Homo-oligomer: A and B are copies of this chain.
């Protein structure tokens, strides 16, 4: 079973490089399932129904997100009727939408996707993502073998800890949010694929996808310089994950990078 997870899509450049390459990539890698983190897809801040529909049309199976999920307020209502758009699962009970979805490949294999958010340095403070993961796994359907976790999180320690916490219990834990790909992809000892951050899909001549001169100026001046998405050639950042459909174990995790 071949799965692609695409890191935080940032603005028009991110959507462009993704949509222009996804079908080709699907063929080339014989992808069975595609998950995209789209929390910054709408101009860097949030996601809209229109953008989700574009992604689903390009054969994206599930969309994950993170702290920017509600930046476009329409997400609060759209998510209610669209179970394939996930928000962090450890929001309080009663939050619109869900962070857990079980999809199916064309071959009829079930794939669970769980979206979590870290607590350290993230606003607002959500419930413990470790306990939230345990709760989901305790109620997983018996026949669900493959589970992918998007751990949206600031610190490397909280992400790495989640990898170890879930090793052997899910197929893969991939980190998002920092927008820079890490070079530590590996298969953990009990068979879970892991990477600390997939990196963003957007313009890298930027500061995490935003206009670099304005952002640098803001760091220097401490003034509320308005941030806007950087333009220019973009790069798709993803991980290609190979799973054994019967056991759910990961037997391959590899960074994918396609630059315009």
Contact = CB atoms under 8 A, between A and B. Distances in A.
B199 A183 contact: yes
Given A161-B219, A165-B220, A120 B128 contact: no
A114 interface: no
Interface in A96-132: 119-121, 124-128, 130-131
Contact of A199 (B91, B178, B184): B184
Tallying the copies of this chain within the complex gives 4
Given A161-B212, A199-B184, A207-B161, A126 B222 contact: yes
A110 to B, nearest CB: 27
Contact of A223 (B95, B164, B197): B95
A156 interface: yes
A156 to B, nearest CB: 4
A158 to B, nearest CB: 6
Contact of A154 (B121, B131, B255): B121
A207 B160 contact: yes
Given A154-B155, A180-B156, A222-B126, A92 B161 contact: no
Interface in A190-243: 196-197, 199, 204-208, 212-213, 215-216, 219-224
A144 interface: no
A70 interface: yes
A247 interface: no
Interface of A: 70-71, 73, 76, 91-95, 119-121, 124-128, 130-131, 154-158, 160-161, 164-165, 178-184, 189, 196-197, 199, 204-208, 212-213, 215-216, 219-224, 255
Given A92-B128, A180-B196, 4 more contacts: A92-B220, A128-B220, A131-B220, A183-B183
